[in-house]
Amino acid sequence: MNFLQLIVDILKFLFQGNNSLPQTKAAFKSLAGSIVPNTPALTEQDTYSIEALNLHTDEYQIWILNHYVSLKLILGNSNIYLANATAGMLNVAARQLITAGRNKQLISPTVLHEEGPFAALEATDRCRTITLLEQLQADLASLPFPFRNNPGIVLALISIITMLATNGYYSEWSGYGSTRLEPPDRRKIEHFPASWKQIGYPGPSNGYHALRGYLFNQFTE
């Protein structure tokens, strides 16, 4: 790739805004559904068969990447939105996996065209794509900016997005309901998250009764 094309890619990245592309949404839905899938066979209780997509974990990943994960750039304190670029990295690596014939399941040409290579893969092959990036076996020169030829950022973001899938699932995110995409100070818990029911978490409390010592009228050392 020539220098001029690199400059164009950098400018596109910097001025893309925080609007998620259709293939970005598809990639993160696929990622969330692969890491925390629907598992009705594990239990007869409905609360245990809820997958990450039903709790909007994909939206949580996108929101965090666009608001809380930052890059240090020479340009100063510009807002750097990483969701679209991260989804682009997943799609490039997925296409490399498909081209090399390393996917074990057939892919849907329709999904491939409309939602991208990562979404077109089955869950196990999406995990193979993640492993491809984790082991730096993907062609890093083909990845979008800022991941191109930058193994440190590749490893950091792969670790972050896999962690966010479980963090978002077990957090209060789904409980925010219609306010979940609002700024943090405008969110309200609208219902009790199903994932909290799964693990028996009673929810936040202003305080619990506990022994905090004994009362003294006078204290001397």
pLDDT at 145: 86
Q: Measure the CA–CA gap between 193 and 176, rounded to whole angstroms.
A: 9
pLDDT digits (tens, 9 = 90+) for 14-47: 566 667 889 999 999 999 999 888 766 555 555 5
Q: Measure the CA–CA gap between 89 and 111, rounded to whole angstroms.
A: 18
Q: How many Cβ atoms sit within 10 Å of the Cβ of residue 3?
A: 7
pLDDT digits (tens, 9 = 90+) for 186-218: 999 999 998 888 888 888 777 767 777 777 677
pLDDT digits (tens, 9 = 90+) for 40-82: 655 555 555 567 788 899 999 999 998 888 665 544 555 678 9
Closest CA to 61 of 197, 159, 208, 196: 159
pLDDT at 74: 44
Closest CA to 134 of 91, 164, 93, 166: 93
Q: Rounded to a whole number, what is the largest CA-CA distance in the chain? A: 79
pTM: 0.81
Average predicted confidence (pLDDT) for the chain = 84
pLDDT at 204: 79
